[in-house]
Homo-oligomer: A and B are copies of this chain.
């Protein structure tokens, strides 16, 4: 009550704060922006005035002179609609949001629905309304990273960008993770191991398929396409893929699934087809999402550190903005296999 009226009333300006603190606007600004060149006395007075008046700096005025918007765009191309069902995206969004909030930056969500809207987005971003962009869920031929980079917009991509575009990105070692998951199945004595992959125009999906094959090769087993099926990262796609695999290979004894949300469906299909998991068929997923620990049986899965990766993306992006350097940088995060009951392994910890 004592100060709520201020909250409702007109805006408080730095001028008023300064007047109350008995200093100039300039000194007030210095305090707000944490400049070291302020005497302790002045600093204290200003801080007190800020608290008393409930002052919050006016972003627009600041942006106007700094030529920074202090907001970061997260671009999520909607045509990637199948991805929509995957909770992974929300965990990722949350990670980015947290990292940005910590630095007082705004998260602006951009969801272009079409090529046309992507172009509007491009102009919009290039106009300086956004300091940098996080791109995610890119499909094979999306030219967005290059185009934005060409306009001088700092960009970080979530996952290796398609077509080897020259852009900064943060990725998890999908291939290695997939290989260790598959190797784990083979180590359990499984010999007829299949995989359900994501849409292969997404690098992450392709990497997981390649890792799967790596492990087979390393074990001296042949690569047989009839053990591979695309699940598209959607639950319905995963169910379809699992049915197909069972039809083609009724005696398969292991499945590596490229995402947990698909793995959950695969588990269901296997069980309703009368297969016991892990006795008849061992299953390993990817992502290690919360759901993995709660399925029946609990799902073995490959973990990648979403939180740490989002933090790193933000760090890279801010560096690129501050340092004005557009050198592409890549950061790779290791993955780790988390063994649970679905793969028949002893519930050991991380491998």
Pick the interface stretch among A17-25, A100-108, A197-205.
Answer: A100-108
Pick the interface stretch among A41-49, A290-298, A330-338.
Answer: A290-298
Pick the interface stretch among A109-117, A161-169, A179-187.
Answer: A109-117
The answer, yes or no, to whether A308 is at the interface (CB within 8 Å) is no
A91 cross-chain contacts in B, Cβ below 8 A: 84
Pick the interface stretch among A138-146, A218-226, A265-273.
Answer: A265-273
Q: How far is the CB of A149 from chain B (nearest CB, A)?
A: 11
Interface membership of chain A positions 87-106, coded 1 if the CB is closer than 8 angstroms to chain B and 0 otherwise: 10111011001100100001
The answer, yes or no, to whether A127 is at the interface (CB within 8 Å) is yes
A97 cross-chain contacts in B, Cβ below 8 A: 109-111
A240 cross-chain contacts in B, Cβ below 8 A: 294
A7 cross-chain contacts in B, Cβ below 8 A: 123, 126, 151
Interface membership of chain A positions 1-34, coded 1 if the CB is closer than 8 angstroms to chain B and 0 otherwise: 0001001100100000000000000000000000
Let me know if A264 and B291 touch, CB within 8 A.
no
13 A–B contact pairs at CB < 8 A?
A7-B126, A8-B126, A8-B152, A11-B67, A11-B128, A56-B127, A59-B69, A61-B64, A90-B90, A93-B111, A107-B108, A236-B294, A267-B268
Q: How far is the CB of A148 from chain B (nearest CB, A)?
A: 11
Instruction: Give CA–CA (A64, B113) in the complex, Å.
Output: 30
Let me know if B94 and A111 touch, CB within 8 A.
yes
Interface membership of chain A positions 76-94, coded 1 if the CB is closer than 8 angstroms to chain B and 0 otherwise: 0010010011010111011
Complex copy number for this chain? 2
Residue of B nearest to A69 (CB): B60
Known A-B contacts A107-B109, A268-B271; the reply to A64 vs B56 at CB < 8 A is no
Residue of B nearest to A294 (CB): B236
The answer, yes or no, to whether A313 is at the interface (CB within 8 Å) is no
Instruction: Give CA–CA (A285, B62) in the complex, Å.
Output: 50
The answer, yes or no, to whether A63 is at the interface (CB within 8 Å) is yes
Q: How far is the CB of A171 from chain B (nearest CB, A)?
A: 22
Interface membership of chain A positions 50-65, coded 1 if the CB is closer than 8 angstroms to chain B and 0 otherwise: 0000101011111110
Let me know if B291 and A236 touch, CB within 8 A.
yes
Q: Which residues of chain A from 149 to 196 have a CB within 8 Å of any chain B CB?
A: 150-152
Instruction: Give CA–CA (A272, B85) in the complex, Å.
Output: 23
A117 cross-chain contacts in B, Cβ below 8 A: 101
